[in-house]
Structure 1
Amino acid sequence: MTTIGFIGSGQMATALAALAIKAGNDVVLSGRPNHAKALHHKVAELGPLARAGSAEDVKGLSDVLFLAIPFWAYRNVDPQIASHRLLIDVTNYYPGMYDPPALLNSGELTSSELIQQHFSSARVVKGFNTIAAHHVLALARDTDADDRSAIPIAANDGAAMNEAATVLDEFGFDAFRVGTLADSWKFGPATPAWVSVYQADPGLPWTIDPGRPASLDRIRVAIDSATTD
């Protein structure tokens, strides 16, 4: 049994925690002190394999970490929390919404490369940023299911990417390996592989769309059609 930690306790963290528990893992969710009551309520709903904790608890107890917070908030997280651990970066950078470093604003770095710089001793893998939380729960499938969906991932460390692919498989998804963190722009916000590829009806608001499986081939086509324009 693995302990999986979540830096964050929002909808995505909670959805992924539910899949982690279904796969037989313990989970630790951390949140801001002023959200303690809501966090404990979520943990109670997740059941006995879940616990609420501080950032230090996540650091000390977890084998695998998910960074599931608003992108800008990574700067407030102690990088030692993820030291020498697999860190799956679920964040999304939306141009114009934050005050990013110049290298990010100019496109010289991707947001996940910036995350890797901050968590310099972690093994960062970009993943699960392309799918809505309710689609995560709706589309997870057993390994041998014909309608399994794929999630694009990217990492600078091949071994870390393989470890992340194993986590995805346990959670009910195939991994589509895109490349390094420099390539992760190919599945960032507003790209063909982001959110709409999992929608049953792209004309619906994604918040109420029931979801549609996105196979490895479908994700491959979406990644191949990404442009920098």
Structure 2
Amino acid sequence: MTSNSARVARHPPWRTSPSGRTVGGMAITGIIGSGHVGSTIARLALGAGDEVVLANSRGPETLQGLVEDLGPGASAATAAEAAARADLVVVSVPLTAFGSLPAAELAGKPVLDTCNYYPDRDGRIPELDSEETTTSELLARALPGAHVIKAFNNINFHHMWTLARPTGSTERSVLPVAGDDPTPEAARAKQLVIAFLDRVGWGAYDVGPLAEGWRFQRDTPAYVRPYDPDELAYWPPRSDGRQVTAEQMAELIAGAKRYRDM
């Protein structure tokens, strides 16, 4: 599979035929932010049998090419429309865009947060620089009533695609997940995100509440390199990556250090 596979292939690596669905029924997955990460998750969700509604900051008319490339089951809408229609919403945007997200429409929804803090892109955010909070906690603050769960932020879009494997595969990898679950509704939202990961080819390693999401943020041991040790040597990625098991992820998470201690 080439480095462009996540952008051109329509079906997950384990699909042998484009016909049929991998799960019964059809969930609706909303995706706000349609760059490499958002569009790759869209492809995985479509392959799992979901309907996908894409949105970005420029309007649905700018997404028609991507919708056509994704094929049946994909559509474009405004962010508010995507949030209102979806059963689960993926947010993959710069941190500076948190304030423009449709908070009212996202209330009560599971929100899968893929975002990372990159000061060169996002500017300096004192609360994150001091490590008094995390990116997902900032997102949860911007979306009162939504159930924010952190996932898909520690892997690049290419390996997100090439390493996906069906349930039961001995080659399946895991992704860390963090989310608050103090109420039955919040716990259910977290389980829905974990189930979504399972549908699209990934196991989940539950790290705990959102406050623990720092353990797999940028530059920690669990970030990117476990899936491809040579990741930072070239771009775009050239390899299909390597498996990361739950046992390996547990060690990586346990070995995380705060930026101030690195």
TM-score by length of 1: 0.93
Give the SS at the match of 2:122. coil
Structure 2 unpaired stretches of 5+: 1-25, 182-186
State the one-letter code of the partner of 1:69. V
2, 6, 14: which one aligns with 2:39: 14
Give the letter aligned to residue 115 of structure 1: L
Q: Does 1:207 align with 2:246?
A: no
CA–CA separation in structure 1 for the residues paired with 2:27 and 2:250? 30
Residue identity matched to 1:185: W
Asked whether 1:61 is paired with 2:85, we answer yes
Residues 196 and 76 of structure 1, relative CA distance in 2, 3 Å threshold: same
CA RMSD of aligned residues (A): 1.7
Letter in 2 for 1:17: A
Task: Return the offset for 1:128.
Answer: 0.3
Partner of 1:171: 200
Does the Cα contact within 8 Å between 2:59 and 2:78 map onto a contact in 1? no
Local SS of the residue matching 1:16: helix
Shift of 1:201: 3.1
Identify if the C-alpha distance between structure 1 residues 203 and 54 changes in structure 2 by more than 3 Å, giving closer, same or farther.
closer
Separation of aligned partners in 2, 1:154 and 1:2: 22
For residues 149 and 101 of structure 1, the distance between their equivalents in structure 2, rounded to whole angstroms, comes to 32
The aligned counterpart of 1:77 is 101
Query: Shift in Å at residue 74 of structure 1?
Result: 1.3
Partner-residue secondary structure (3-state), 2:192: helix
Question: Which residue of the partner structure matches residue 103 of structure 1?
Answer: 127
Equivalence for 1:193: 222
Distance between the aligned counterparts of 1:214 and 1:44, measured in 2? Answer: 33
Q: Partner amino acid for 2:254?
A: D
SS of the residue corresponding to residue 184 of structure 1 reads helix
Does residue 33 (structure 1) correspond to residue 58 (structure 2)? The answer is yes
* Count, aligned residues: 228
**Is this contact kept in 1: 2:173–2:202, CA < 8 A?**
yes
Q: Shift of the alpha carbon at 1:60?
A: 2.2
Matched to 1:82, the amino acid is L
Rounded Cα–Cα distance in structure 1 between residues aligned with 2:244 and 2:211: 24
- The answer to whether the 8 Å contact 2:216/2:223 transfers is yes
> CA contact under 8 A between 1:79 and 1:120: conserved in structure 2?
yes
Distance in structure 1 (CA, Å) of the matches to 2:159 and 2:235: 9
1:144 is displaced (CA, Å) by 1.1
Q: Say which of 114, 135, 142 aligns to 1:90.
A: 114
